Chains A and B, each alone.
Chain A
């Protein structure tokens, strides 16, 4: 098992900064997800950890050993590729045995270890076929088996479920999580799917534009996003973000629409905004309760999502507020409604720096 440390690690491709200097410590046995949109630098970061990509600057420490310039084979890591990277001319058994054969393990050891991981991943019945005839899910199981069979110090997974269809993705997500719990292996997992990240990660590293935006537990990045990007990117739909002006304990959102700030926020906002200033009000769809009190809005659209209804509320023709309501709730389009916010779930952001305003918690 392993601890991975990235110290000011960066990557440039010519003039393009693919990863700006980043620091990150991944603890032993932790499942860390690198999450971000395409081109944010998450895969490059993973490839730098693996040694498949050389760093432009910084240091990578694996279990206390500086491996910045070590060859991938010297790092004792396993890598699961998005498109499986299986050897098409070899059978599943030979694919799984490949890393052991490369290290010159005895035939008996190879036979035992292959049988062990095949049982673990439930692929014993396909051991003698070629990967080409397998389903996407089984191919990824084989790729996982090839990674597991070596018992490496850490697992690096580059969108391993990206090439699977929705049905397999759900199953494989659960399997990878189960494997992690059983093996307790340090895992770095790259994905652009925030639901996957929330479901699997012990911690999530949210990246955008080659920069780490926030590192935190799924609950932290969801409830306390560090900035507007994280607030908007995490969640489906993301956080409602409405511009307003704060003064005297109230945020004026529109003409005739204002939000009375919860008492425990007032002192922080007074201090940060020096009594008055522009602010962005943020709240998740589930923080909204549609009732007879609160801010006025008209129903713009309603979507039934199976287990719940998503209401889209028009706030004065400029902003749409997404609100999550029980599935029995239905309003005709254009209905005038009022909505209130759960005070504990309200957040504020600075419109200039785009960073979250952090509330001082008094003991």
Chain B
């Protein structure tokens, strides 16, 4: 035994005890990190999730001084079948809004990305500027677009009709109000599609286009057979994200129209808010509505994810 090892062996047990007091084991550290997060998650997410599921089968109002009353599927039945409650109207508005908004965002976003893909003087600056709308708060965007759409002072009519006074009343005309929200959403979120598409377009190797040029493929043929299929996975991700967002659309509608005129722009989320937090505070019924929205979003997401997997495999 060497001289160097002697003191260590002699001080071994005492040293270990001291060390144990000073240092925590890996297991303790793991528990210290995991449990607070887990408890927070259970309290803030999991419990409300299951409690709201339970409430969706009850007749319950959070402001009434009565305990929840079990009504089984009555809330769901009312939402899906009762015509007087006009929930179908809210679903139609949301569906129309989602299709128009996401469709236009994809067209505008992809188109802009195709233009920005080509490098030119100032293209970096323009790309940055184009991305600004999606960095703003939806409520702020709603408020200033309200001014832009203003029939007497707003610049929108002025630009479209070259005449501010004789223009349309975008936010109070029932046939135009949803379009107005679509326009703002497209303005705000097309940059997101631009961003995704640009990353997809720049990842297409230039030699594929060179090979296609040699193969005598026209520009349109190259777009159809190379560009589009190569960008498709990212395009589908953009569609998925934007569709989910469109189904949840709340703040922009509240900022612009608050669901008016009448209930022309009342999306499911706005209706949900009204049912849950205004008037009678129908907590049970609105929980059921929230679950229906959740199921729709999961179903739509699944469809997209399947399509996405097909483009990757097939």
Contacts and interface: CB of A to CB of B under 8 A. Distances in A.
Interface string B196-234: 000000000101101111111110010001100110000
A311 to B, nearest CB: 45
Main secondary structure of the interface of B (DSSP, over half): helix
B215 A102 contact: yes
A88 to B, nearest CB: 8
A81 B207 CA distance: 8
Contact of A83 (B207, B214, B225, B229): B207
A60 to B, nearest CB: 15
B210 A99 contact: no
Contact of A98 (B205, B207, B212): B212
Contacts of A362: none
Interface stretch (A69-77, A114-122, A293-301): A69-77
A101 B215 CA distance: 9
Given A81-B207, A87-B226, A98 B215 contact: yes
A146 B229 contact: no
Given A87-B226, A89-B230, A102 B207 contact: no
A102 B229 contact: no
Nearest to A147: B214
A102 B212 contact: yes
Contact of A85 (B210, B225, B229, B230): B210
A79 interface: yes
A99 B230 CA distance: 18
Contacts of A83: 207
A161 interface: no
A99 B225 CA distance: 11
A254 B230 CA distance: 66
Contacts of B218: 102
Q: Please indicate which of the listed interface residues A50, A51, A72, A85 has the most CB atoms of chain B within 10 Å of its own CB.
A: A85
A78 interface: yes
Nearest to A76: B216
B216 A52 contact: no
Contacts of B216: 73, 99, 102-103, 150
B229 A89 contact: yes
Interface residues of B, number: 18
B213 A85 contact: no
A73 B225 contact: no
Nearest to B216: A73
B34 to A, nearest CB: 40
A170 B46 CA distance: 63
B225 A98 contact: yes
A51 B211 CA distance: 11
A150 B215 contact: yes
B217 to A, nearest CB: 4
A52 B210 CA distance: 7
A52 B215 contact: no
B309 to A, nearest CB: 14
Contacts of B213: 51-52, 71-73
B217 A85 contact: no
Nearest to A100: B215
B210 A79 contact: yes
A71 B225 CA distance: 20
Q: Please indicate which of the listed interface residues B210, B218, B221, B230 has the most CB atoms of chain A within 10 Å of its own CB.
A: B210
A150 B212 CA distance: 13
Contacts of B226: 87
A78 B225 contact: no
B214 A73 contact: yes
A281 B180 CA distance: 87
A304 to B, nearest CB: 42
A73 B229 CA distance: 22
B219 to A, nearest CB: 10
A87 B225 contact: yes
Nearest to B207: A85
B54 to A, nearest CB: 47
Contacts of B225: 87, 90, 98, 101-102
Contacts of A89: 229-230, 311
Contacts of B214: 50, 52, 72-73, 77-79
A73 B215 CA distance: 7
Nearest to B232: A89
Contacts of B230: 89
A81 B215 CA distance: 13
A60 B211 CA distance: 20
A290 B210 CA distance: 54
A212 B314 CA distance: 47
Q: Please indicate which of the listed interface residues A72, A77, A78, A90 has the most CB atoms of chain B within 10 Å of its own CB.
A: A72
A245 to B, nearest CB: 53
Nearest to A143: B211
B221 A85 contact: no
Contact of A102 (B208, B210, B221): B221
A230 B311 CA distance: 51
Contacts of A72: 210, 213-214
B77 to A, nearest CB: 47
B223 to A, nearest CB: 12
Contacts of B217: 73, 98-99, 102
Contacts of B221: 101-102
B210 A87 contact: no
Contacts of B207: 81, 83, 85
16 contacts: A50-B214, A52-B213, A71-B213, A72-B210, A73-B216, A73-B217, A81-B211, A85-B207, A90-B229, A98-B217, A99-B216, A99-B217, A101-B221, A102-B215, A102-B218, A146-B211
Query: What 6 A-B pairs are tightest by C-beta distance, nearest first?
Result: A99-B215, A102-B217, A73-B216, A85-B211, A85-B207, A79-B214
Given A85-B208, A102-B221, 4 more contacts: A52-B213, A78-B214, A79-B210, A87-B208
